[in-house]
Amino acid sequence: MGKPHKKLKVWQNAMELYTKIYEITEAFPYFAISLLSLLLMILTPSTLQAWARHNLITKYALESNESYKNSVTVVTEISSDNSINPEYTPIYTNPDFKNNKIDCNRFMNYDLDNGLYYGFEGKGLSEKTSIYEILVHFSDEPDWGMDKNINLSFAQKLMAGSQGYRHMYYPFWTFHLPYPFIAQGEAPERAQHFFDRAVEEYKRGNTYAAYRELARSIHYVMDMAQPFHTYQLPLRLIQFDSPFNGTVQAIKNYHFAYETFVANLLQMEDCASGGMLSKSIKDAEPLITNNSRDLALLIARRSNKIAKRLIPLAIEIFGKRFNSAEPQSLTESEFKELLNSNNKSMREFFDLTQQTLILASGGIKGLLDLFLRVS
């Protein structure tokens, strides 16, 4: 008899897991049903990214670093990496820069528009560039397909596929499914992986490749500051009329609403030559650790604590319309209305968002400090 179909095997493994959980919680039927519903719901993969504008956050964090701006190097081909999606081909310039130029009058909806390359220009092979440009331009790169369609772990089936598994991390001793109190996700390891490659390339004298690998490492460190990447969402978002795809969609609605809100706010501040959030990013102190994995873990633990309040606030602020099995997007009018809000919840929401961006910036600066110490 041949091997069982791959999808059938995954389903069999999942059913074994559900059965064990049900046996443990048999004395609490309602709780058991809630767990099973959520597990089934998150089996459905979804498109996932963290900060919509890694490049803009990195730009603010390095704004005053004149040495990186003045350090000129030449664009060279980067080494292959068999740990990433084999179908991914690294790019050096924006394939559609005409439609991705910054437009200060444009409201960018990151779940409807293709915002992955927004603001990215790049330089072609053999052209001159700066370390600053490399770090800013390629801090978004891991969201361009590097981590998609890879078979990594059974747990990825519960974390929006390999992309989510590599860009998320639920810390030890936090409650999450399917494995409560056990760490889930690979982002800290990916931060360390690319950091190590950066050090190796630097020691070989490959400046461009070194800082491009470092930009990739920066991405995963920044991901750990994104609350939606370190905290599993509340059970209140389960869509009982569509517990699988519908609940995933409800989660995505709030996730992308938050992404869109923060990214447009940062872009608005950039066009106005400054603001509260961008100043916080620029002024953040570096987080000092002995390696990039520990740095990512430190940020993840702090982000998880912030998320416990920020995510319920996001659900309250964006409203019931997003708690839907159908796609819902933040509109420009809603964005402007939120900006003009000055109630207690909105002030707290801004404050918590500011804390997460300070974490992200502290991670960027801490990683660069570490790189200077070990390279």
Regions of the chain with pLDDT less than 70: 1-50, 112-114, 155-159, 175-179, 234, 244
Check: CB of residue 250 under 8 Å from CB of residue 333: no
**Which residues on neighbouring strands pair with residue 184, listed in sequence order?**
170
Establish how many alpha carbons lie within 13 A of residue 235's alpha carbon, considering only the half-sphere containing its beta carbon.
14
Best CA proximity match to 224, nearest among 361, 371, 87, 107: 361
User: For residues 117, 266, 225 and 343, what is the CA-based torsion angle, rounded to 10 degrees?
Assistant: -140
Check: CB of residue 217 under 8 Å from CB of residue 194: yes
Three-class DSSP category at 123: coil
Check: CB of residue 143 under 8 Å from CB of residue 149: no
Q: What contacts 291, CB < 8 A, 6 or more positions away?
A: 192, 195, 370
Distance from first CA to last CA of the chain, Å, rounded?
54
Q: To 5 degrees, how large is the angle CA 126–CA 127–CA 128?
A: 120
| The two structure tokens encoding residue 330 | 């933040």
pTM, two decimal places: 0.85
Query: Locate tokens 């699988």: which residue?
Result: 244
Establish how many alpha carbons lie within 13 A of residue 151's alpha carbon, considering only the half-sphere containing its beta carbon.
3
With b for 16 or more beta-carbon neighbours within 10 A and e for fewer, the 122-154 pattern comes to bbeeeeebbbbbbbbbbbbbbbbebbbebeeee
**CA 335 to the chain's CA centroid:** 21
Rounded CA-CA distance 353/261 in Å is: 11
Rounded CA-CA distance 140/349 in Å is: 25
pLDDT at res. 67:
94
At residue 367, φ and ψ (nearest 5 deg) are: -65, -40
